[in-house]
Structure 1
Amino acid sequence: MTASIVTIVYVNDAPASARFYGDLLDMSPSFETPGYIAFDLGPGADLALWSGQFENLSSAVPRTSEICLAVGGGPGRLDELFEEWKAKGVTILRAPSDAGFGRTFLAADPDGNRIRVAPQD
C-alpha cells in the first residue's frame, strides 16, 4: 500500500502559523488555501496547519501530542538550533536535556502546540 502521512495541527490563524513554521523549518508551503496550509516534508510526509475547525484555541489548554522535528548534526547542532529559536522569540517549554533517545528540547507554537526537537535516528 502506498500512503502519505499528513500531520494536521489545529491553529487559530493558518497564514500566521505558516509564517511561524516556514521560518522555523526554512521552507515555503507546498499547498495553500485561506484556512489550510501544508508543507511537504519529504516523501510521504506533510505538515498541515488548519484553522476554522475550533474557535479561539487557547495555548493554556494542555496538549497531549507533539510534532517532533528530528535533526541531524549531533547534540551540538541541537543546542545551536535551541539558541536560534530562543533568539527568534519562540516559546521554550523545556531547555535542552538528555533523554533516553538523545539530546532534546521542547518548544511551543503561538497556539500552544508542542514542538519537540530531537536527534535524527
Structure 2
Amino acid sequence: MTSPNMFIVYVTEVARTVDFYRQIFAIEPSALPGPGFASFTLDGGTELALWSGHVDALDGQPTRTSEVVLCLPGGPEAIEEQHRAWAALGVTVLEEPHDAAFGRTSVIADPDGNRIRLAPVD
C-alpha cells in the first residue's frame, strides 16, 4: 500500500513563506525549483511544499480546513515554551495555549493565514 508523501500549502509569496517556515521550524528547504514552489523534507521523507500556483484559493476569507501540526514531547510545558518562542518572533497568534481533548495546544498563522498548531505527542 502507498501512503501520502507530500502535503501542499497554498501561499501567495513562496520566498516570504519559506523564510517564515525556516524561522519557526528551524529547517531549510530541500527544493527551490522556481519562484512559485519550494519544499521541505520532513522526518520520514514526507515533503511539506509551498506553492503559489493556486493563489486564487486564498482570495477573500477562505475556509481553513487543514493545519500543519508540530507535535512536541515534553507535556504542556513544551507547548507553552514553544508558543512563547513563536510569539516572540511576532507571528500571528490565532489561539493562545489552552487545553483540548488531546492535550495542551495553540495555533499560529503563516503570512497567508494557514494554520500551524502545536500539540502534544500522542
TM-score, normalised via structure 2 length: 0.90
Q: Residue 80 of structure 1 corresponds to which residue in structure 2? A: 81
Runs of 4 or more off by more than 6 Å in structure 1? none
| C-alpha contact 1:59 1:111 (8 A) present in aligned 2 | no
| CA 1:118–1:54: 2 relative to 1, 3 Å | same
Matches within 5 A, 1:1-121: 1-33=1-33, 34-55=35-56, 57-58=58-59, 60-121=61-122
The structure with more helix, counted as a fraction of residues? 2
Gaps of 5+ in 2: none
| C-alpha contact 1:3 1:44 (8 A) present in aligned 2 | no
How many residue pairs were aligned? Answer: 121
User: What percentage of aligned pairs have identical amino acids?
Assistant: 46
Deviates more, 1:50-59 or 1:5-14: 50-59
What is the Cα-based RMSD across aligned positions, in Å? 1.7
TM-score, normalised via structure 1 length: 0.90
Give CA deviations for 1:38-97 in whole Å, capped at 9, x if unaligned: 111111421100013224834733312111111112211110111111110110011001
